[in-house]
Structure 1
Amino acid sequence: MFTESQKEQPRRPKGIMNSLATNFFHLRNPWAIAWWSASYPGFGHISMGNYVTGFLLFFWEMTVNTQGNVNLAILYTFTGRFDMAKEIVNNRWLLLYLSVYIYAIWDSYRLTLQFNQLAILADRHEQTIQPVSISFMEINALDKRSPWAAVAWSVIAPGLGHLYTHRIPTGFFLVIWWMVIAYYSFLFQGVQYTALGLFEEAKAIINPEWLMFLPSIYGFAIYDAYVNTVEFNRLFEKEQAFFLKRKYQSPKFEMQFKKENAMYITASFEHSINLEIAISELEQKGINPENICAIPMHIPKKETRMFDTIHRADGMSIFDLPTVLGTIFMLFGVMWGFMWTWGPIIWGLIALFAGGALGFVFKYFYYWFYQKKNTSGKVTEVVLIVSCHEEEAEMVERVLAGHHALSIGRKNG
């Protein structure tokens, strides 16, 4: 027999929100997740919200890589110093490396396929999450955020973009390990010498074994913060749409245009907190909830948008390939930079921007040839209809306009 609490819980939930993070199912590209596991074991699992497995794989990679001198072996191999690569590598640790490395890639790919199925089932059953969680430690509220702000903070320091989206376990973990890697690689001393034009001194002081961890850290932090912000925004829209359908589509709501002394105010909105504040203010001013009808609009998926924003996201990220190529190019730029004049810092940054630009160009032409161009401007996502008395019409319009209605119209009863 099931308890009452078990009966209330959905069988295929969308996700869960607590004060530290929001963890939920959404569609992911399994090849992108497998790539991040290949770039650094653990990142694929962390991206999907499997924190325990992801953190364990991360610690395993850090331990085995440093003990087996794997990064140094890679550096010497790709710079043509094969004898040095064979001498430096520790086979006792290297043989431990391969099996777990392959498992991390395989398991992250497998889990992505499974989680995608659960995401589809949750959406088909219109499952959502509680949009606010409050505890004595933190307050976590589902809201819209800018994907590009998350990218900017991740560029400044990996992990800050995740803290911006309130994904605290990932953010805290990345910030701490970025500090550790920056310290042991002498990153900032190398940046200082590079900025002063002392390239040989920079190459001499930088620890290449630790520096080679940074491309994967930066690439993952930027990609994952961007994708999570986009998906959080889409989750906010879905949750608010379900709420509006439940509460503000009363069967008692009627539009009788010949009703005496009646006025119908129609307004268009984007999904936002302002919409709910506007509705609650109307209720405070005496408008009965049965006289408010909110209709979330379904936008046909006919056009692909090159760039996601805080207002619009179509789930097809242009950011995946640029971050993958940027990470690969940056890694080679760092390695070869030890042999070139400007050193690993400058060549790593040049390679990062070159790889990212190449990825953007490729995606641009992909969308240009195979998809339609996006139309600019804001899009109506919710239509709000308010039935009121004629003397209340001005007040209703003022409230709606004050909370960022895209357009407002009225019809006499």
Structure 2
Amino acid sequence: MPHQKFQSSNIKPRYSKGKISVFGINSVYPRPPWIAAWWAASFPGFGHMYIGKYLHGFVLIVWELVVNNMANLNMGIALSFHGKFEEAKAQLNQDWALLYVAVYVYSIWDSYRCAVEINKNHILAEIEDAPVAPSDVSFFDIITLDKKHPWVGMVWSLLSPGLGQLYSGSTIVGTFILAWWIYVCHKAVAVRTWLYSFLGDFSGASAAVDWQWFLFIPSIYAFAIYHAYSSVNENNILFDIEQIRNLRVRAENLEQLNPIDSGNVHLIATFEHSPFLDMAIHDMEKLGVPARNIVALPLENLDSKPHVIDSIHRVDGRSIVDGAMMGGSICAVLGAIYGFVLYWGPIIWGLVGLAGGIVLGLIIEIALNKKKLKLFAGQKSEVILEVACDASLQNQLIKILKSRKALGFALMPKP
């Protein structure tokens, strides 16, 4: 929450909290620098995409696909893990491999550095209390900031990378990941390999697959799932931030500084941050309740525990999915590498590695956070709505609260 508020709605803020446009949604959200560095080490460009620097990420991803492929680096890695070191050296194109090192190290270093700077900008944006426009309408698209389920984004990216990003509202990012996924799968002959694997023709799967291109797939797949989850999470938080600021500005403009002492009925209700809260306030004003008699107070929630699974009702960006997906990406790559020579082939072993790595990552995270960990993110009250009006409107007010998904309400006793 902001430490100091400035009425900056009529001027361009020095430090923006987020941007909504036809291209997608992005925000200055504080992200752990070491996680950004890890994803950059997994695949150059991923660390920058994780922190919202998508243009840098796109450039580095294209660079990785070109230079890695020209150097035949993935083949060298796979053969090295199989103990075929001389064959691995013979596969490498040294001219291209030497170009790889500096940019790879830069990707890790710069993603960490940028994450630190973005965290600073987040603090400054909170101090300035910069506004965020909650929607953008253009000829091409209608983008609105709303609440979505993080796990739904994960499921869509699990079915096809890129779909989870489109679900979260990131049009350009989703399009890029989807096109990139299709291209890499085509070059790796991944669809035919997948078909042979699930028909039980494991020797046919191993013979069909292109090792060099296939080893891009585990990292891409794991990151797409994780990024879809985190981007939905961050957009939900941006919605909360925008709504909290709007409620505070509304209260200030209406001079709602003292408890309501007028009216025959005094009603208190609780809401979570959602579009239904704004609709409820609008419905009450249409009903004839004076705007000054409707006070919406954002709560400072005391639950700061990390959760294994965030939900639409409880989002804080600190879920244990971070460690789980990092473990999944490592083990998926290892499973695919050894799957080239094991009986089940690279597809089955890659999926086994992904599932096993997720479980292993969860176990490690739970062990590190066992004293403060909650399994599920439960529903919470986030806003108190206080209304005073004529007694004749009581039943209509209660009907509005029920239709607009209030978590609960109470009628204050008359003095």
Q: TM-score range by the shorter chain?
A: over 0.9
- Counterpart in the other structure of 2:3: none
- Counterpart in the other structure of 1:75: 78
Partners of 1:7 and 1:135 lie apart in 2 by 22
- Counterpart in the other structure of 2:383: 382
Give SS of 1:293's match.
Answer: strand
Counterpart AA for 1:217: I
Inter-CA distance 282–222: structure 2 relative to 1 (3 Å threshold) = same
Inter-CA distance 181–368: structure 2 relative to 1 (3 Å threshold) = same
Partners of 2:131 and 2:258 lie apart in 1 by 29
Inter-CA distance 317–13: structure 2 relative to 1 (3 Å threshold) = same
Q: What is the CA-CA distance between 1:150 and the residue it aligns to? A: 0.5
Partners of 2:185 and 2:304 lie apart in 1 by 45
**Conserved 8 A contact 1:253-1:293:** no
Partners of 1:173 and 1:374 lie apart in 2 by 33
Inter-CA distance 296–374: structure 2 relative to 1 (3 Å threshold) = farther
* Among 24, 35, 38, the residue aligned to 2:27: 24
**Conserved 8 A contact 2:366-2:373:** no
For 1:260-299, list aligned pairs within 5 A: 262-299=264-301
For 1:262-411, list aligned pairs within 5 A: 262-369=264-371, 371=372, 373=374, 377-411=378-412
Inter-CA distance 153–329: structure 2 relative to 1 (3 Å threshold) = same
1:144-196: CA deviation from partner (whole Å, max 9, x where unpaired): 11010000011111111100001112111110010011111111111111112
Partners of 1:155 and 1:403 lie apart in 2 by 32
Partners of 2:172 and 2:326 lie apart in 1 by 23
How many residues align? The count is: 406
Counterpart AA for 2:90: E
**Does 2:235 match 1:229?**
no
* Among 163, 184, 189, the residue aligned to 2:192: 189
Give SS of 2:310's match.
Answer: coil
Partners of 1:325 and 1:247 lie apart in 2 by 45
- Counterpart in the other structure of 2:5: none
* Among 98, 101, 106, the residue aligned to 1:95: 98
**Conserved 8 A contact 2:164-2:228:** yes
Partners of 1:184 and 1:375 lie apart in 2 by 40
- Counterpart in the other structure of 2:4: none
Give SS of 1:306's match.
Answer: strand
Taking only aligned residues, the RMSD between alpha carbons, in angstroms, comes to 1.9
Partners of 2:203 and 2:376 lie apart in 1 by 51
Partners of 1:328 and 1:375 lie apart in 2 by 25
Counterpart AA for 2:358: G
Give SS of 1:83's match.
Answer: helix
Inter-CA distance 183–266: structure 2 relative to 1 (3 Å threshold) = same
Partners of 1:405 and 1:43 lie apart in 2 by 39
1:287-314: CA deviation from partner (whole Å, max 9, x where unpaired): 1111110111111244333321111022
TM-score normalised to the size of structure 1?
0.94
- Counterpart in the other structure of 2:205: 202
**Conserved 8 A contact 2:27-2:234:** no
Query: Percent of aligned pairs with the same residue?
Result: 37
- Counterpart in the other structure of 1:126: 129
TM-score normalised to the size of structure 2?
0.94
- Counterpart in the other structure of 2:44: 41
Give SS of 1:143's match.
Answer: coil
Give SS of 2:123's match.
Answer: helix
Counterpart AA for 1:357: V
- Counterpart in the other structure of 1:157: 160
Q: What is the CA-CA distance between 1:126 and the residue it aligns to? A: 2.1
Give SS of 2:351's match.
Answer: helix
Partners of 2:319 and 2:376 lie apart in 1 by 17
1:220-272: CA deviation from partner (whole Å, max 9, x where unpaired): 11111111111111111111111112114533575565x5x611111111111
Consecutive unaligned residues in structure 1, runs of 5 or more? none
Partners of 2:407 and 2:183 lie apart in 1 by 48
Inter-CA distance 401–6: structure 2 relative to 1 (3 Å threshold) = closer
Greater shift, 161-170 or 298-307, is seen at 298-307
Consecutive unaligned residues in structure 2, runs of 5 or more? 1-7
Counterpart AA for 1:398: K
